[in-house]
Amino acid sequence: MIDLKSMNPEEIGAVLAQWGEPAYRGKQIFSWLSRGARSFGDMSDLPKTLRSRLEEECTLSPPRMARRQISRIDGTAKYLWELSDGNCVESVLMRYRHGNSVCVSTQAGCRMGCAFCASTISGRVRDLTPGEILDQVIYTGLDSAVPVSHIVLMGIGEPLDNLDAVLKFLELVSHPWGLNIGMRHISLSTCGLIPGIRRLGELGMQFTLSVSLHAPDSETRSRLMPVNRRYDVEDLFRACHDYFRKTGRRISFEYALIDGVNDHDWQADRIADRLRGMPGHVNLIPLNEVRESPLRPSRRMEAFQKRLERRGVAATVRRKLGSDIDASCGQLRRREAERSEHSCGFGESQT
Ligand code: SAH
């Protein structure tokens, strides 16, 4: 079966050209797909014979909404989507004054193993296709009935561990014939896979790169993030400086403050020292408590922020949205896996 959802208009056109169809069909089908058409039969401006051939040879399996939670406090909506093979992933719609942002997943599960994160507890099941990442934006927007203006790749999975699919997704979602979301309205977050960061630097794309830092010293970071044993934080800082030199884009650093682990003054000073010469921005996040983990939120948010700012590093405390619904990445998928009604890609033994 052909996966047209993961193709740009030219690629769709090339498939149809082999069937003797005119090139403009690529644009027609691409724009139907971007608007969330649920079947080829719906594509009313295509000839009937073409629609039936598409139905026979191409997949078009929109995700099924397995769960939805909407925050009564701020309208944040969290979706659990069931993919065609039964795997589940999460997306979140966040409403801001500057627009509506969708947070998407890039993998079913994650193999990075961060100690504080719910998404990684059962490992990675598989990569998502570009079309499956795109579908989360399309159907979250359609269900919420609001225009989506911003995207963050901060859901389940490590985007740079599925980089080819993510790059294709970025191309599709920013295409003027599709959702047309500008690169400057997109953020991509990574736990620090240095080869991926270097590749993105070469491409010089205009989205915002977020790096999940969480500790500026090798010892603490290796404890929290096993990826640090492969790609050490000192090398990561160097890769970030190179990235800034190449792209001119300011990097944002995610930092979840954890009580007694990464919230010491000397760690704030180390961050300031390593970011010298680069206009970075540190996003301080209150740790979301994950039931399976002993880590607790820090009580030093403000002190840490002040310490960074005094040393010339821009630092903000992230506003917490959707605190009344299963908040952080992977928690909804996990809860759902624990209920027996869905297996969501987890084996029987883990439900
Ligand atoms: N794999 C990517 C993107 C997914 S996670 C990455 O690591 O950046 C999105 C962000 O949420 C990351 O910064 C991650 O470290 C953070 N995060 C995960 N679990 C969290 C928790 N329990 N509390 C606070 N932040 C968390």
| pLDDT tens per residue, range 76-128 | 999 999 999 999 999 999 999 999 999 999 999 999 999 999 999 999 999 99
Using CA atoms, how far apart are residues 323 and 38, in angstroms rounded to an integer? Answer: 32
User: How many of the other CB atoms lie within 10 Å of CB of 2?
Assistant: 13
Residue 33 backbone zone (phi > 0: left; psi -120 to 50: alpha; other: beta): alpha
Answering whether pTM is above 0.85, one says yes
Q: Which two tokens stand for residue 68?
A: 């939805």
What mean pLDDT is predicted for residues 136-154? 97
Residue 349 scores a pLDDT above 60:
no
Q: Are 187 and 98 in contact (CB under 8 A)?
A: no
For the Cβ of 283 lying below 6 angstroms from any atom of ligand 1, the answer is no
Choice from 90, 104, 116 to test ligand 1 binding pocket (greatest atom count within 8 A of CB)? 116
Using CA atoms, how far apart are residues 169 and 8, in angstroms rounded to an integer? Answer: 10
Q: Show Cβ contacts of residue 171 under 8 Å, excluding neighbours closer than 6 positions.
A: 8
* Sign of the C-alpha dihedral computed for residues 125, 161, 152 and 149 taken in this order: negative
Using CA atoms, how far apart are residues 60 and 41, in angstroms rounded to an integer? Answer: 11
Using CA atoms, how far apart are residues 54 and 190, in angstroms rounded to an integer? Answer: 37
Spacing, Cα 191 to ligand 1 middle (Å): 8
- Note the pLDDT of residue 342: 36
For the Cβ of 104 lying below 6 angstroms from any atom of ligand 1, the answer is no
Q: Are 252 and 211 in contact (CB under 8 A)?
A: yes
Spacing, Cα 13 to ligand 1 middle (Å): 38
- Note the pLDDT of residue 347: 29
Nearest CA owner, ligand 1 atom 8: 190
Q: Are 133 and 106 in contact (CB under 8 A)?
A: yes
Choice from 102, 133, 166, 328 to test ligand 1 binding pocket (greatest atom count within 8 A of CB)? 328
For the Cβ of 190 lying below 6 angstroms from any atom of ligand 1, the answer is yes
Catalytic residue among 90, 158, 254, 336: 90
For residue 158, give the ligand 1 atom closest to its CA. 1
Spacing, Cα 94 to ligand 1 middle (Å): 16
Residue 329 scores a pLDDT above 60:
no
Any catalytic annotation for residue 55?
A: no
Using CA atoms, how far apart are residues 143 and 339, in angstroms rounded to an integer? Answer: 24
Any catalytic annotation for residue 329?
A: yes
- The values of phi and psi at residue 178, to 5°, are -115, -130
pLDDT digits (tens, 9 = 90+) for 220-246: 999 999 999 999 999 999 999 999 999
Q: Which two tokens stand for residue 87?
A: 């795997």
Q: Are 50 and 70 in contact (CB under 8 A)?
A: no
